[in-house]
Amino acid sequence: MSGTMDGTKRQRRGDTRQRIQDVALELFAEQGYEKTSLREIAECLDVTKAALYYHFKTKEEILVSIFDDLTQPILDLIEWGRRQPHTLETKQEIVRRYSETLAGAAPLFRFMQENQATVRELRVGETFKERMQGLREIIIDPHADLVDQVRCVSAIFTLHAGMFFLQELEADPEKKRAAILEVATDLVTQAHHNA
């Protein structure tokens, strides 16, 4: 994932590039993209700002690299989805897998969710939109009733929202994830049955 040139010994003490990504994502998610300065990131890592520029061309590129690394699973999921028959089981599986992807990169998705205005003017914004469009295509039947199309989109956003908005609901996190997944699955199931 990190050292792309030779796969042998590239992750010894001081894989700075990776550490930058980690800290940056943490801060981006916590405080937002704009409010997180390169100075802050550098200080967290105990390096100078200039060091960041050795590893990344711009602030935006740090974000892009994180995004690209962490959203690969979505790309895979979409590609997989496209090759499947449009059955109910497929859609349910997509929902399940997407739920897992979200859980696996929660900070990034939280970040994307909470910084939409910012991200919209960034390259990742456009890319993310495309990904979501791809997701919609494999889950929505374009000939279905409008209401059912909305159900599918709602399913996706329920998963999203579930990650962050539902933290106020106090309950066992695992049970919550299961409940969210159930509601989302329910929505695509209803949408499918009406067809």
**Footprint on this chain of its own copies (rule: CB under 8 A):** 31-35, 111, 113-118, 120-121, 133, 136, 146-147, 149-151, 153-154, 157-158, 161-162, 165-166, 168-169, 171, 175-176, 179-180, 182-183, 187
Among 65, 19, 76, residue whose Cα is nearest residue 42: 19
| Least spacing, CB of residue 91 vs DNA, in Å | 41
Q: Judged by CB, which is closer to its own copies: 79, or 182?
A: 182
CB 183 → DNA: shortest distance, Å?
A: 38
For residues 53-72, which are near DNA according to CB under 7 A?
Answer: 53-55, 57-60
Read off the tokens for 60.
């935006």
Interface residue with DNA among 49, 82, 96, 120 (CB under 7 A) is: 49
Contact status: 25 vs DNA (CB under 7 A) = no
The entry of DNA, its own copies, none near residue 47 (CB within 5 to 8 angstroms by kind) is DNA
Q: Rounded to the nearest whole angstrom, what is the least distance from the CB of residue 8 to its own copies in the complex?
A: 29
Residue 178: count of CB within 10 angstroms of its CB: 12
Question: SS3 string of the chain?
Answer: CCCCCCCCCCCCCCCHHHHHHHHHHHHHHHHCCCCCCHHHHHHHHCCCHHHHHHHCCCHHHHHHHHHHHHHHHHHHHHHHHHHCCCCHHHHHHHHHHHHHHHHHCHHHHHHHHHCHHHHHCCHHHHHHHHHHHHHHHHHCCCCCCHHHHHHHHHHHHHHHHHHHHHHHCCCCHHHHHHHHHHHHHHHHHHHHHHC
Nearer to DNA, 48 or 194 (CB): 48
**In terms of CB distance, is 48 or 84 closer to DNA?**
48
* Residue of 11, 37, 133, 194 interacting with DNA (CB under 7 A): 37
Least Cβ distance, residue 91 to its own copies (angstroms): 16
Q: Which residues bind DNA (CB under 7 A)?
A: 1, 12, 14, 16, 36-40, 46-51, 53-55, 57-60
